[in-house]
Chains A and B, each alone.
Chain A
Amino acid sequence: MNQRILIVEDEFIVANDLRLKLGRRGYDICGIASSVETAREMVETLRPAWVLLDIYLQDEMLGIDLATLLTEKNIGFIYISANMNTSVLESAQATRPNGFLSKPFRERDLLALLNSAIRNKNWN
């Protein structure tokens, strides 16, 4: 079960933390993108199976903007965000993500969510 994962997160410390946590558990982190534009390119070139997606990115683009492309390519995605009750959250939910992780997250929550998301997606 070698799942290639792309991390889209503009906060280096958080992205690096995700990379280390998942890497230790045997996940293959194929890249870290800090903007939607870079993420688009990386999705095309690296062909990840999963994307961990921060909703708010620095370039004013929302992670949500990437969702259509990911759904088209049948790539699973999980939102990671600190904001839990805004209109943005509603539009995020409308893109039907495979999971939602709120910041600050714990390693245990991250792993449990990713595992169950992968399991559910494989069933469907």
Chain B
Amino acid sequence: MRYDQGNLLPTLSTTIGMTINRSVNVQDIQRPDRSIHLPGDLAMITIIILVSLVIFSLIKWSRSARRELQDRYWEIKRLKYNLRAYKRELDDRYKEREWLIGEINHRVKNNLQIISSLLSQQLAHITDKHATESIKTTQQRLHAIALAYRRTYRAEQLTKVDIHQYVNDLFSYLRDEFRLADSPTLKNDTGAIFAELEVAVPMGLIIYEAVSNAIKFAFSDTVTGEVKVSITRLAGDKLELVISDNGIGFPGDTGSSQTNGLGTSLITGLGRQLGGQFEIYNNNGAILRLLFEFKD
């Protein structure tokens, strides 16, 4: 009966109780009531011990959990720091790359200047009219190349050329070189196309040659002429370059060899370099069409 004092671990407390009962003192014997409570006290002690154990292990666990959390925290902090360092390095590399490309472009233009200056000084020693013309034409082609390099200077597009702008620049250069007034008008029908220098430069030279040919040969003084350059992106990664005018057309069928020699061979050669196919024909004027593979 004394065991069912509501203790939670009867077996354990019985054992402990019986052991302690043997050594109970006289007072306890005289007052047997209290001896009945003794196993309950023991049970309480046990419970306290157990609870303390639980609390202790809980504390221990929470400590280790906290340590683990702290470890993770430091780990994350370290990763964050590393990430920031990587980003800084990337930024530096990007800036360095930008600077290098800018520097290369700078040097290319400087070298173009040196070549142009050399040709100018050569000119001073030449009296032959044909030779003088040749050197001047070479200087003009050189300048057409330089214009492409001028258009590469944009923050994000350091190696790419804004083709629409480049064609505009070529036009104003041509207008200036040939002192064009009203006729022919030059029309730029080019969309937003950005091309690498190795594509832009041959394209620019082709345009320069073809348009200057048209200005020189396609129009009689009475006609209000127009030369149009249109560059269009076609399906399947193709670019179409069309240079057309409303002048007298190419002589013969497509025999353009009658115009200036190097200009024509430059046009066909550079077209081939771009991996393109040329169509040259007359349709209310001369039309030169080049189709070539083009990826952004």
Tell me whether B106 and A82 are in contact (CB under 8 A): yes
A85 is an interface residue with CB less than 8 A from chain B: yes
- With most chain A CB atoms within 10 A of its CB, the pick from B110, B118, B143, B154 is B110
A111 is an interface residue with CB less than 8 A from chain B: no
B residues less than 8 Å from A86 (CB atoms): 102
Tell me whether A103 and B109 are in contact (CB under 8 A): yes
Tell me whether A14 and B143 are in contact (CB under 8 A): no
Tell me whether A20 and B121 are in contact (CB under 8 A): yes
Tell me whether A11 and B124 are in contact (CB under 8 A): no
Task: Kindly state the separation between the CA atoms of A86 and B121 in the bound complex, as whole angstroms.
Answer: 31
B260 is an interface residue with CB less than 8 A from chain A: no
A residues less than 8 Å from B12 (CB atoms): none
How many residues of chain A have a CB within 8 Å of chain B? 20
Tell me whether A21 and B114 are in contact (CB under 8 A): no
Tell me whether A104 and B113 are in contact (CB under 8 A): yes
Pick the residue among A13, A83, A102 that contacts B117 (CB under 8 A).
A13
How many residues of chain B have a CB within 8 Å of chain A? 23
B278 is an interface residue with CB less than 8 A from chain A: no
Tell me whether B118 and A13 are in contact (CB under 8 A): yes
Task: Indicate with 1 or 0, residue by residue over B79-116, a CB within 8 angstroms of chain A CB atoms.
Answer: 00000000000000000000000100111011011101
Tell me whether A17 and B121 are in contact (CB under 8 A): yes
Tell me whether A104 and B143 are in contact (CB under 8 A): yes
Task: Indicate with 1 or 0, residue by residue over A90-124, a CB within 8 angstroms of chain B CB atoms.
Answer: 00000000000011111110000000000000000
A69 is an interface residue with CB less than 8 A from chain B: no
- Given A84-B150, A84-B153, A104-B109; A11-B143 close (CB under 8 Å): no
Tell me whether A108 and B176 are in contact (CB under 8 A): yes
Give 7 new A-B contacts, CB below 8 A, not counting A17-B121, A82-B113: A21-B120, A82-B107, A103-B110, A103-B113, A104-B143, A106-B139, A108-B176
20 contacts between A and B (CB under 8 A): A13-B117, A13-B118, A13-B121, A14-B114, A17-B121, A21-B120, A82-B106, A82-B109, A83-B105, A83-B106, A83-B109, A85-B102, A103-B110, A103-B112, A104-B109, A104-B113, A105-B113, A106-B139, A106-B143, A107-B120
